[in-house]
């Protein structure tokens, strides 16, 4: 086997890997029914976290424009404050600045 054969094998491998990568990107973007879902808008996000003790954590979660303050502890999770209007708070902080 000479150098031309190695170049041909390497070129074929690069072509196959490139086609696989393109197919993977296409399925992530557009999705295939029953196989891979396309990208969708996320409704839930963690806005901020704060450790208040070695085993206690506060989380500020945002869901559909409302925020919820949740306390996580070893015994479980509790909602400290729910249904905080995130749009209203953002407008107030914008006025203060």
Dump pLDDT digits (tens) for 48-75.
999 999 999 999 998 888 889 999 999 9
pTM beyond cutoff 0.85: no
What is the per-residue DSSP string for 6-43? Answer: HHHHHHHHHHHHHHHHHHHHHHHHH-BTTTB-------
- Which residue range is the domain that position 88 belongs to? 44-96
Domain count for the chain, please give it.
Answer: 2
Considering the domain architecture, whether residues 48 and 92 belong to the same structural domain is answered as: yes
Dump pLDDT digits (tens) for 25-49.
888 777 776 665 555 677 888 989 9
Considering the domain architecture, whether residues 64 and 89 belong to the same structural domain is answered as: yes
Contact 86, 65 (CB under 8 A): yes
DSSP state of 5: H
d(CA 41, CA 2): 52
């Amino acid at each position: 086997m000479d150098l031309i054969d190695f170049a041909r094998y390497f070129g074929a491998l690069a072509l196959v890997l490139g086609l696989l990568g393109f197919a993977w990107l296409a399925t992530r973007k557009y999705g295939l029914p029953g196989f891979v879902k396309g990208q969708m808008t996320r409704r839930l996000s963690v806005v901020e976290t704060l450790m208040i003790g070695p085993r206690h954590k506060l989380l500020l979660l945002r869901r559909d424009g409302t925020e919820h303050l949740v306390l996580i502890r070893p015994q479980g999770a509790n909602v400290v404050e729910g249904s905080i209007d995130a749009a209203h708070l953002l407008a107030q902080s914008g006025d203060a600045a």
